[in-house]
Amino acid sequence: MIKASDQPKPILRKYFGTDGIRGHVGVWPINAEFILKLGWAVGVVLARQGGHGKVLIGKDTRISGYMFESVLEAGLSAAGVNTHLLGPMPTPAIAYLTRTLRAQAGIVISASHNPYYDNGIKFFSAMGTKLPDELELAIEDQIEKAMTTVDSAELGKAVRVNDAPGRYIEFCKSTVSSEITLNGLKIVVDCANGAAYHIAPNVFSELGAEVIEIGVEPNGLNINLDCGATHPEILRRHVLKENADLGIALDGDGDRVVFVDHDGTILDGDELLYIIVKHRHQTGLLKGGVVGTVMTNFGFEYAMNELHIPFTRVPVGDRHIMSELHKNHWHIGGEPSGHILCSDQITTGDGIVTALQVLSVMRQTKLSLKELTKGLNKYPQVLVNVKVTENTDPNHKPRILEFLKYIEKELAGTGRVLLRRSGTEPLVRVMVEGKDEYRVQQLANELAVVVREELVKS
């Protein structure tokens, strides 16, 4: 049994959450005034780290990205740091370009899978990885100080990187063997009206696939709106309507991916991770084991045991997955959401690269997605998101704790219950997993009611 209280306590930060700083646009700290100060603080800290280098700024397609791009640029300039503007680019592309363009840091303006009215800022180090804790804490400390401006002769300049999409498309294609082509495959690609809208279709078509594009008309307001990896039903309909071989859906910032098989079956991150891991294991390319999270289906863990592959769980978030991979010198991990890390290919989760790994396995084995997932028998798992108004750890509420004990007794060692606060939204995520699907659904709904009654102010 894994509960939120079992997870390691994070370092307390005032602004940074599990994945940067995120919230509702116009509501502090996601407003122009704070983000200007943030840009300045980042610039000051980076200048202190070693000279006046350059910082990359990329964004997804939500309308507020224009505003935050401008104020970040201004704040960095005030600190004497040059900026290179990438425009709309997937989050993993910004990580890749930060490293290859030898920037001091990369900044992503995105709220990932959230609606357009949310936005956020997250950072990559010069190596394309998440910022270390000490750097985030240094930035938070700098924000508390009065903003200053360097001498006019030392102000940072800004240039636009016009060839960023082409650079990244070529990188994505390079992550699979040059012998792999997608000729003869008809693929529906849903880009969620997000950052990959001008990237993903080109990657798959340049490798030979017939691509049917959806979710490629961003207007600033329709990112993730009833489309993409968080809403794969529209992809499923298009795959069946077009009689396609498969469908691929990304989220708004392009770091998550889910698939749809030719018969309309939706494959989440657990199934895609299983396909990649099993093939690497069979071909002798798997180094060590696999990292999942507390949300990874128990059926995946059982399948790893059957293959004698080491498996470990960490709290939700790619930061935790990458840390565990690095600690164990392993290469692959992921989440059911479709956020998968192949650290031998790229430094962060990448929906396009993940999709190419799966397609490469299909081509090499000449097997369908359904055949490739044989051996993975997932337990029924129900996830209920409860919107809350009280910022309290649900595991500290006596009534909730009492109900958790009741569920544990009901499952009798044949399932799991997990209760955790979202690090990016005002939600408590209720997850119940077990062999009896009807009873699992019932218990999840009952627990959600208790959480709602305890954590929603009337």
Residues 389 and 427 in one domain: yes
112 catalytic, yes or no? yes
Does the structure show a pLDDT above 70 at 114?
yes
Q: How confident is the model at residue 272 (pLDDT cuts 50, 70, 90)?
A: very high
Q: Rounded mean pLDDT of 235-258?
A: 98
Of 75, 65, 88, nearest to 37 by C-alpha is 75
Residues 312 and 199 in one domain: yes
Residue holding tokens 């010069």? 126
Beta-strand ranges (E) seen in 376-441 are 381-387, 415-421, 427-434
* Domain-embedded: residue 1: no
CA distance 104 to 422: 30
* pLDDT, tens digit (0-9, with 9 covering 90-100), for 186-244: 999 999 999 999 999 999 999 999 999 999 999 999 999 999 999 999 999 999 999 99
Residues 218 and 366 in one domain: yes
* pLDDT, tens digit (0-9, with 9 covering 90-100), for 21-45: 999 999 999 999 999 999 999 999 9
Does the structure show a pLDDT above 50 at 100?
yes
Residues 366 and 392 in one domain: no
* pLDDT, tens digit (0-9, with 9 covering 90-100), for 286-343: 999 999 999 999 899 999 999 999 999 999 888 899 999 999 999 999 999 999 999 9
Q: Rounded mean pLDDT of 397-416?
A: 91
Residues 81 and 133 in one domain: yes
Does the structure show a pLDDT above 80 at 257?
yes
Q: Give SS3 for 317.
A: coil
* Domain-embedded: residue 409: yes
Retrieve residue 303's tokens.
Answer: 């399948």
* Domain-embedded: residue 178: no
Residues 218 and 247 in one domain: yes
CA distance 192 to 112: 10
pLDDT at 39: 98
Q: Which residues pair with 417 in a beta bridge?
A: 432
Residue 205 is part of a domain; what is its CATH number? 3.40.120.10
Which is the catalytic residue, given 64, 112, 125, 343? 112
pLDDT at 51: 61
Residues 444 and 300 in one domain: no
pLDDT at 11: 57
CB 346 within 8 A of CB 96: yes
Residues 262 and 216 in one domain: yes
Sign of the alpha-carbon torsion through 314, 318, 319, 321:
positive
Does the structure show a pLDDT above 70 at 387?
yes
The pTM assigned to this predicted structure is 0.89
Q: Give SS3 for 336.
A: coil
- Which has more confidence, 427 or 422? 427
CA distance 236 to 188: 9
Does the structure show a pLDDT above 80 at 1?
no
pLDDT at 2: 37
Of 308, 348, 456, nearest to 90 by C-alpha is 348
pLDDT at 95: 97
| Structural domain total, the chain | 3
pLDDT at 426: 84
* Domain-embedded: residue 99: yes
* pLDDT, tens digit (0-9, with 9 covering 90-100), for 59-83: 999 999 999 999 999 999 999 999 9
Q: How confident is the model at residue 7 (pLDDT cuts 50, 70, 90)?
A: very low
Please report which residue ranges of 231-268 form alpha helices under DSSP H: 233-242
What range defines the domain where residue 412 resides?
Answer: 381-455
pLDDT at 372: 98
pLDDT at 176: 97
Residues 362 and 214 in one domain: yes
Residues 219 and 333 in one domain: yes
Residues 14 and 113 in one domain: yes
* Domain-embedded: residue 172: no
Q: Rounded mean pLDDT of 95-124?
A: 96
